[in-house]
Structure 1
Amino acid sequence: MTKTNSGRFFEDYTLGQVIQHAVPRTVSGGERALYHALYPARHALHSSDTFAQSCGLPASPMDDLITFHTVFGKTVPDVSLNAVANLGYAEGRFLAPVYPGDTLTSRSEVIGIKQNSNGKSGVVYVRTTGTNQHGTDVLSYVRWVMVRKGDLNAPAPETVIPDLGKVVAVDDLVIPEGLNFSDYDFGLAGEPHRWGDYQVGEIIDHVDGVTIEEAEHMLATRLWQNTAKVHFDATNREDGKRLIYGGHVISMARALSFNGLANAQMIVGLNGGAHANPCFSGDTIRAWTEVLDRADTDAPGVGALRLRLVATKGKAGPLKGEDGKYAPDVLLDLDYWALIPQ
């Protein structure tokens, strides 16, 4: 009996299957320090206890994407160890802040499945939920992954593609309890721009760029305990390159967006996302954002912006060509909701 884990293949997934992922992870200030060392992250709410307390929170919560990466990383050995590509996200909601000392676990339910026409792989849709030590759900999202078949003769399952919402409704966004931006300190936050200063259709070029380093992306991926072979094993791809973890690109682009969106303090919804093209060490990431929508919330002084964050190796410009495919320089297309003072 083999004791090692070769990962699930496409034929190993069944509709309705629930997978409890190992291993629980207690997060601490160490994760915050490493996150800020890996990315140029400077949002005040995630940097300062006193700033967070002035906004009605008990302390500075972990960066929202630390929560995402930690919950995501748990799923990799069970969902995407044999993945060809992570294709997209939908219906993501941050349900409660995560603080140093919290312990996170993850579970996933298979909600869709479809074999590809080549008979060598298929797409698996999972809804993943992260939970803290109190049994409180902190994050929920759907992702779909293309996974290799281990047995090419395994019969194709009945195709089930879930009906996923294109946008998380404003009423479904969870505002952290106590959050209050009425006395928000714009000087300490770093920029004067508030909710009313952003117009739907506005494009913000975040100006700065960061070149991806091999060692840094592998350190980041290990930090989140993401074991996907394509990120570490140079023999896993024919070109001999290690693929940069898509979440590394998300965090880099989000951190770069501080320049122009310093007051977009908390991510509360992931409407959709696509890793448009692969990213490799040596690529220089730049970012731009389009304002898609604005909404009020019930929290005092708190508004919501729906933002389209694009990471690119080029400049702000057309996302797709006439053929409908992403331009080759585009790495990430992420649609999310963020909270900002009004």
Structure 2
Amino acid sequence: MATGKTDLGNAFEDFKLGQRLAHATPRTVTAGDVALYNALYGPRFSLFSSDEFARGCGLETAPVDPLIAFHLVFGKTVPDISLNAVANLGYAEGRFLAPLHPGDTLSAASEVIGLKENSNGRTGVVYVRTTGVNQRGVAVLSYVRWVMVRKRDPAAAVGEQSVPTLAPAVPAADLAPPPGLDFRKYDFALAGAPHAYEDYAVGEKIDHVDGMVVEEAEAQMATRLWQNTAKVHFNQFERAQDPSGRRLVYGGVVISTAKALSFNGLQNAGLVLAINGGRHVSPYFAGGTVFAWSQVLDKAELGGPGGAIGALRLRLVATVDRPCADFPDKDEAGAYAPGVILDLDYWAAVPKRG
């Protein structure tokens, strides 16, 4: 049967350093996207849940959770970058540059900034920097990710290769809270906890206690919501599945599930400002219970009205079927312990008590 008009997706040998990709299908964000996001992951952060609460924080209306912007832009990139992926591997240098609201339209473009063929000759790692812009041409977010992609022909020649040098973290000075954000009258009672910037110590670990199962149908729906078409998440005949035949769950499902679980202990740190780095340590398949814990890596005062905006640099670790109390995430040699599925480093805004 002819496939001349169908898109088979890029293989590793199709990518070139410096290549620019304009991704198809702009997406207008709706209140329905927000409602379905809440139904799938269960986040409870007040800043995204209530227009009145957001107005009390100096904003006109509640912004959309930044992770929705991340998922939407990520989904735009899949047909060009990771349709034939084995796995998405990691993230770096992610910055949320402008707030997103229902009615805004996002489009995305990427630049290939690194290529490295694997020693097996059958796959390679592609590094891209992706930028999402709104309908006014304003950049909403930018991030780097790297993904393992199959070669179409193991014997195919590969052009110039290079692995980019990436910053270990986004500097606090480059963080961009939403314009107008004002935490001077932050309502800790309505937010769900009294914990302010001053209450967190560098090195502190927080067990988020709760666990959440992601079912197969939820994983499939979440991935379709973001128009992510990667074959490993849907196609029963792809290789990235466990012996029972379940498809690999999109890594963004794990990120948003773990972030929602972090509410218990980080109720006032919902607003993600940057993604410093992250790894999908192990594949996750639906049916396992996801748990999470966080560690405070750093703190920074961002100023704002009354100097009331602070930021926490947080390490979010997700595990499967292993509650996190006293959980050793790595062994003495530095290898991840069985059950760790996500290791994410990010900055979040948090109110100062003043």
**TM-score bracket for the superposition, by shorter chain length:** over 0.9
Q: d(CA) in 2 for partners of 1:40 and 1:112?
A: 36
Question: CA-to-partner distance for each residue in 1:85-131, whole Å, 9 max, x for gaps?
Answer: 11110000000000000000010000011111111111110000000
| Count of residue correspondences | 342
For 1:274-289, what aligned pairs fall within 5 Å after superposition?
Answer: 274-289=279-294
Q: d(CA) in 2 for partners of 1:26 and 1:330?
A: 35
* Matching residue of 1:36: 38
RMSD: 1.0
Q: Residue 258 of structure 1 aligns to a residue in which SS?
A: coil
Matched, 1:250 2:231: no
Matched, 1:332 2:348: no
Mean alpha-carbon deviation: is it higher for 323-332 or for 122-131? 323-332
* Matching residue of 1:208: 210
Q: Which of 12, 15, 33 is residue 13 of structure 1 equivalent to?
A: 15
Q: d(CA) in 2 for partners of 1:175 and 1:212?
A: 31
Mean alpha-carbon deviation: is it higher for 231-240 or for 2-11? 231-240
* Matching residue of 2:312: 305
* Matching residue of 1:120: 122
Q: Residue 211 of structure 2 aligns to a residue in which SS?
A: strand
The letter of the residue matching 1:255 is: A
Matched, 1:184 2:186: yes
Mean alpha-carbon deviation: is it higher for 196-205 or for 228-237? 228-237
Q: d(CA) in 1 for partners of 2:73 and 2:217?
A: 22
Q: d(CA) in 2 for partners of 1:315 and 1:61?
A: 32
* Matching residue of 2:323: 315
Q: d(CA) in 2 for partners of 1:319 and 1:135?
A: 42
Instruction: Indicate conservation of the 8 Å contact 1:45/1:52, yes or no.
Output: yes
Q: d(CA) in 1 for partners of 2:109 and 2:169?
A: 23
Displacement of 1:169 = 0.2
Matched, 1:58 2:60: yes
Displacement of 1:298 = 2.3
Displacement of 1:220 = 0.5
Q: Which of 65, 73, 76 is residue 75 of structure 2 equivalent to?
A: 73
Question: CA-to-partner distance for each residue in 1:19-53, whole Å, 9 max, x for gaps?
Answer: 00010000110011001101120100000011111
Q: d(CA) in 2 for partners of 1:6 and 1:200?
A: 48
* Matching residue of 1:291: 296
* Matching residue of 1:235: 237
The letter of the residue matching 2:342 is: L
Consecutive unaligned residues in structure 1, runs of 5 or more: none
Q: Residue 177 of structure 2 aligns to a residue in which SS?
A: coil
Question: CA-to-partner distance for each residue in 1:140-195, whole Å, 9 max, x for gaps?
Answer: 00000111000212113332111100010001111211000000000110110000
Displacement of 1:323 = 4.1
Instruction: Indicate conservation of the 8 Å contact 2:16/2:160, yes or no.
Output: no
Instruction: Indicate conservation of the 8 Å contact 1:114/1:157, yes or no.
Output: no
Consecutive unaligned residues in structure 2, runs of 5 or more: none
* Matching residue of 1:158: 160
Displacement of 1:236 = 1.0
Displacement of 1:281 = 1.2
Instruction: Indicate conservation of the 8 Å contact 1:115/1:157, yes or no.
Output: no
Displacement of 1:10 = 0.3
Q: d(CA) in 1 for partners of 2:135 and 2:33?
A: 18
Q: Residue 142 of structure 1 aligns to a residue in which SS?
A: strand
Q: d(CA) in 1 for partners of 2:91 and 2:272?
A: 15
